[in-house]
Structure 1
Amino acid sequence: MAGQWISVYALGSLLAAIPLTAATRSWRRRPLLLGAIIGFAIANLITALTASFTVALAARFVGGVSAGLLWALLAGYAVRMSPPHLAGRAMAIAMAGTPLALSIGIPAGTFLGLLAGWRLTFGLLSLAALLLVGWILAKVPDFAGEAETQRPSLAEVYAVPGVRPVLAVTLCFVLAHNLLYTYIAPLLAGHGMAGRIDTVLLVFGASALASIGLTGALIDRWLRPMTFVSIGLFLAAALLLAVATGAPLAIYAAALIWGLAFGGAATLFQTASARAAGPAADVAQAMIVTAWNIAIFGGAVVGGVILDGMGAGGLPWGGIVLLVGATGSAVCMRR
């Protein structure tokens, strides 16, 4: 059941991010942001209360649609709220939720679900969303949408120099991440560390959090070099995971390096996308969301094929191939 819910949620984000963002480009930003958060709250509340599996699936799909729109809006909103010279740092703060959710949110939700039941977890998510609505009404300014004369088509945004390389880097990098993260249990079992999954992921999460701070401090001046550093660190981590059989310390080192590479990745890619797209940043962000969710789906599918054909030892090598592709795409990004 949990797998189906996750897949349907991701499918909602994947299918809705681009068309919904494009259709609402002329809308004022704060009402749109509030609508997406309220939709997320309602979807979680229905999930918590319904006894119907079909209704719950539909609610998860709506939750994914809301999340896809939210993700597309956040980067542009952060840039508009900040001075130009601090735009990257503002985006780093806005996008900190991704590694925070991986390192803290998922374990906390799982623990709460085991302690009090999964329905309470979804109910609390709805409550948190409603509190967020109040905070936005009190503190977050509103901005106008795009004027009709300032709205390039989706094809025109896609053709903007620099947008396609960022999308390619995102797809390759996140696909490599999900190859490893989705199948971390068999991968660690192959290294004789089946009982240490929690500690390995804790190291990954802690270093990802540190990466957020580093990214926020450096991104406005060093976006392009940091992108290469992130890919290079991930390549090093994947190589360690590929060759360090029976070496627990090396696996922990790989998790540490992997977390440093991944923690700021969402901010790097979305900042690069926003800079390349200019006024059409929200649509470009929706494309990033779509690429990210394709990579989530693809990580499960491609990882499963590798696992069946080559065993868990083949997963890091698959990641290495993808990261080489990410490096080539990063070379084509705008300077």
Structure 2
Amino acid sequence: MTSQSNRLPVGALIVLAAIGFTAITTELLPSGLLPQISADFNVSEATAGYLTAGYAAIIVLTVIPLSMALSRIPRHFLLIGLILTFAASNALVAIVSDFGAAMGSRVVGGIAHGLLWSAMAPFVARIVPAHKVGKALAIVFSGNSLGLAIGAPVGTALGNLLGWRSAFLVLAASGVLLALLAVWLLPPVRRIPDTPHPSLRKAISQPGVKTVAVGWPLMLMAHFALFTYIAPFLREVRLPDFTIPLSISVLGVAGLVGIWIAGITVDSRPRRWHLITVGGVVVSLLLLPLVGTALPGMALGRLSGGDVVLPAVMVLMFVWGTGIGAMGIYNQSAILRAGGEYRDAANGLTVLTIQIGITIGAMFGAAALTFAGPALIPAAAAIPAVIALGLILAGRRHSYPPGRDERQPPSWPGQGPGSASSGPGAGRETGPVSGP
């Protein structure tokens, strides 16, 4: 089915954003409740942390083979089934009495998580006009930042107030409600008979796919290298503990701002604004180590070092969060474009590489913490961000081409309107109209 209307299916997009919110909250919730969970199951906090690590690991192992195996299932049916799987996983975590059973339940949720994100963007591209794919993705992906800014902190607060099992039961009930809304609001999108079967090999062979599949995870590697160890960094620059949840909320709110910026530019000026936002992340990460050493010494008058450092850190974190929120939309649009008729497989590839990037990012941050100290974690995180920025600069032709308002006009008489941008994809819309 190809959408012919210029109207966005707002109800369907909001439901998808709510599903994304639930998925992100589900992934992050154990991290905020580790003391309760470890005490309840009589395991160490390090062992309880496997509820998060195992969740991510199973995505890496299963997302591509399962995405291909389930490619014939109509997307709206698949999405509804995955939401119910989330609900069942969270309910089981809440009611089991054995840590091994809880771990198994989280693994089931992780499988659903990977499949959800591999199916979500291609589904959106099928139900909206091509020239509004970027705006639609911005709406859907706002659920991610809301999950980070609101879902994880509120879920943690609820768990501390009513018990960690209650928090997971609330997520389970939310999943059932979302499944009912999805049945009502998600339009039926069936596989087009002559659409090629998803092929990872052919997707990788498409010009630009490899660059996006590497550049996007590099940015997430940079993000999670610092985000995972934000607490020791803030303590190292002598900020109080209340700034730890504050910084998470600042990053989440900034992510919404980044999504808004991407939503109004991804269909017209994606290359320029992608470079600006990623460049902002690089600058922020490079400046953050300085605020804990230079600014306290520069504090004058009645301002103490902490008074100067806190607003400086929050401003830099806001710029960092804005860039991370925006780059998700730009990269999602880029992989759908670069994947062409094999966009489903290309999108599944990025789900895999993203989880690898997150995992390596956390390990890289741990290494930076051990060998360089907490104050230099942001500088270490800047390294993969700089490499990603270089890939964006080099990927003008196939991976990150200019948008419709960025193409050069004819520079001499007789030049055709489309010849100013000769690279493949330069004359295409940002998002595809149809796909599996």
TM beyond 0.5: yes
SS in 1 for 2:324: helix
Supply the distance in 2 between the matched residues of 1:194 and 1:163 (Cα, whole angstroms): 43
Say whether residues 1:219 and 2:219 are aligned partners: no
Alpha-carbon distance, 1:243 to partner: 1.7
Residue in structure 1 matched with residue 148 of structure 2 by the alignment: 102
CA deviations over 1:200-237 (Å, ceiling 9, x no partner): 33322222222222221221112222221221010111
Say whether residues 1:57 and 2:119 are aligned partners: no
Residue in structure 2 matched with residue 139 of structure 1 by the alignment: 185
Supply the distance in 1 between the matched residues of 2:361 and 2:369 (Cα, whole angstroms): 11
Q: Label 1:235 to 1:9 Cα distance change in 2 as closer, same or farther (>3 A).
A: same
Supply the distance in 2 between the matched residues of 1:2 and 1:119 (Cα, whole angstroms): 14
Alpha-carbon distance, 1:257 to partner: 0.6
CA deviations over 1:102-134 (Å, ceiling 9, x no partner): 111110110000011111111111111111111
| Count of residues paired in the alignment | 335
Say whether residues 1:201 and 2:248 are aligned partners: yes
Query: Could you say which structure has the higher helix fraction?
Result: 1
Residue in structure 2 matched with residue 88 of structure 1 by the alignment: 134
Q: Which amino acid aligns with 2:314?
A: Y
Residue in structure 1 matched with residue 373 of structure 2 by the alignment: 311
Q: Which runs of 4+ in 1 moved over 6 A?
A: none
Give aligned-pair identity as a percent: 32
Supply the distance in 2 between the matched residues of 1:83 and 1:265 (Cα, whole angstroms): 22
SS in 1 for 2:222: helix
Residue in structure 2 matched with residue 250 of structure 1 by the alignment: 312
Alpha-carbon distance, 1:152 to partner: 4.8
Structure whose CA Rg is larger:
2
Q: Give 5+ residue unaligned stretches, structure 2.
A: 1-46, 297-308, 402-436
Supply the distance in 2 between the matched residues of 1:234 and 1:148 (Cα, whole angstroms): 42
Supply the distance in 2 between the matched residues of 1:203 and 1:95 (Cα, whole angstroms): 17
Residue in structure 2 matched with residue 284 of structure 1 by the alignment: 346
Say whether residues 1:324 and 2:386 are aligned partners: yes
Alpha-carbon distance, 1:334 to partner: 3.9
Q: In the alignment, is the contact (CA less than 8 A) between 1:157 and 1:277 conserved in 2?
A: yes
CA deviations over 1:275-320 (Å, ceiling 9, x no partner): 1112322222221211221122112211111111110122112112
Match of 1:300 among 347, 353, 362: 362
Say whether residues 1:10 and 2:10 are aligned partners: no
Alpha-carbon distance, 1:146 to partner: 5.4
**Greater mean deviation of Cα atoms: 183-192 or 221-230:** 221-230
Q: Which amino acid aligns with 1:219?
A: V
Give the superposed CA RMSD.
Answer: 1.5
Q: Label 1:27 to 1:68 Cα distance change in 2 as closer, same or farther (>3 A).
A: same
Match of 2:210 among 156, 159, 164: 164
TM-score where L is the length of structure 1: 0.96
SS in 2 for 1:55: helix
Q: Give 5+ residue unaligned stretches, structure 1.
A: none
CA deviations over 1:118-167 (Å, ceiling 9, x no partner): 11111111111111111111111111235476125211101211111111
Q: In the alignment, is the contact (CA less than 8 A) between 1:201 and 1:255 conserved in 2?
A: no
Q: In the alignment, is the contact (CA less than 8 A) between 1:45 and 1:122 conserved in 2?
A: yes
SS in 1 for 2:65: helix
Q: Which amino acid aligns with 2:288?
A: L
Supply the distance in 1 between the matched residues of 2:257 and 2:195 (Cα, whole angstroms): 42
Alignment of 1:259-278 (within 5 A): 259-278=321-340
